[in-house]
Structure 1
Amino acid sequence: MRRAALATTGISALVVALLALKPHQSPALAGPAPRSPAESSPSHTPTGSASGSPTGTFTGAPVDTQYGTVQVAATLSKGKITAVKVLRAPDRSGRDQEIAAYALPRLTQEAIGAQSAHIDAVSGASYTSQGYIQSLQSALDQAHA
């Protein structure tokens, strides 16, 4: 009985300690790298919408990551994300291309399902995921501006 109490107490303490940990975020993931005004001006091609909800394709800002630049364009119809097209993805090496080919379709599927840029990163593609999320958020910010 005493062993069970000690084991339960130990496991409880471990769970509390793990929950108290904060995830580490690399400075490279903190935000997009500064760009010149010509490079960072996102574009959009809105179309009219009777409801006032954003409709059109909005190009997000390019986001430099450790492995290359990520840029997406979001297509909205009456305020709903209907498609996300990847315009630029890391491709410096075969491994970068492999990771992008794996991660980007999953990120797109998540973004359309969530109807926002508040999505989880793909395991093994942290930098690419963060660049995708930031570029998508930039596109959505334009749409709602």
Structure 2
Amino acid sequence: MKRSSILSLGIGLFLAGAVFQIQHISKSDENAPSQAINEEAYEKSQAELKIVKQQLAQLQLDLDNAKKEQMTEVSGKIEEKESPAQKSTTSSILIVQSGMNSKDISSALESTGIIQKKQDFEDYLDAQNLTGLIQIGEYELDSSMTMKQIAEKITKK
């Protein structure tokens, strides 16, 4: 090849490279606003995510409160079921000793006539998360007391 041909080829390659570089620079300038738009969209989505998280936390609190209310209503219905059925009052002293659990106490209460069904009282203690709060001691109880009253008397809060 001739020297002039090689020189022309080199100049052509140089010019082509320059054109590509200019095109690349102009595209970078066009991408800058889109990057700003992307950053704005990111910030907006983060703000929306924060709002959604707050709403989720509030809904979780509402759900927890509704569950507590439902448990209270169920407990109230259990207590209402018991009250009309009890006509004569039976009194007894319950002695809670070390090592006794809620089943032992429920059995003792049923055998003395303080409660009608030991399983109902065990379920109540479980539902109210009171099984681990039962205190050792002597408690004067009678059959006119509700499960809630009995539980409050034998547990610490």
Q: TM-score, normalised by structure 2?
A: 0.34
Query: Which has more radius of gyration?
Result: 2
Relative to total residues, which structure has the larger helix share, 1 or 2? 2
- TM normalised by structure 1 equals 0.36
